[in-house]
């Protein structure tokens, strides 16, 4: 049994078709993936069930990923957040990491790299104490 089996993953974006490929890759490995369209939906899902991983869109001109990381920090809900972006540069990467992202994955997606990073994120999440306990 791998760390992917039964892992609960939230996929958040309305704009990035490449996230469909992320969902497909994670589902093939046994994850339960739920696609959401708003920060409010993400927050509700976090309250309703145990989430192991969040995958979200990141871009230099959008604020949603920043709002997500801020909301997660304030709520002390700490599933790893992987950000997917087509325009990652050093400054954007450092900004994301300083805000608490687990990692950033560039587009075009390399599925092997995606699985490696998601696997590591799930291992780290499993090793963390449950904040709700």
**pLDDT at position 133, please?**
42
Does residue 133 lie within any of the structural domains?
A: no
What is the distance between the alpha carbons of residues 91 and 14, in angstroms, rounded to a whole number? Answer: 24
**pLDDT at position 119, please?**
95
**pLDDT at position 112, please?**
94
Range of the domain at 54: 8-127
Mean pLDDT of the chain: 87
What is the distance between the alpha carbons of residues 57 and 132, in angstroms, rounded to a whole number? Answer: 27
Sheet with 8-12: strands ordered across: 32-36, 8-12, 53-57, 81-85, 103-106
Does residue 27 lie within any of the structural domains?
A: yes
Number of domains present in the structure of the chain: 1
Does residue 132 lie within any of the structural domains?
A: no
**pLDDT at position 129, please?**
67
The list of the chain residues with pLDDT below 50 reads 132-133
Which CATH number do you get for residue 19?
3.40.50.2300
């Amino acid at each position: 049994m791998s760390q992917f089996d039964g892992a609960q993953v939230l996929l958040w974006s309305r704009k990035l078709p490449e996230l469909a490929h992320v969902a497909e890759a994670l589902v093939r490995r046994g994850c339960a993936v739920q696609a959401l369209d708003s920060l409010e939906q993400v927050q509700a899902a976090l309250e309703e069930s145990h989430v192991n991983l969040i995958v979200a869109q990141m871009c230099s001109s959008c604020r949603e990923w920043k709002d997500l990381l801020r909301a997660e920090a304030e709520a002390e809900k700490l599933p790893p957040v992987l950000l997917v972006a087509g325009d990652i540069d050093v400054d954007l990467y450092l900004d994301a990491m300083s805000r608490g992202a687990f990692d950033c994955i560039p587009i075009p997606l390399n599925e092997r790299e995606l699985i490696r990073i998601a696997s590591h994120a799930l291992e780290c999440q499993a090793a963390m104490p449950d904040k709700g306990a």
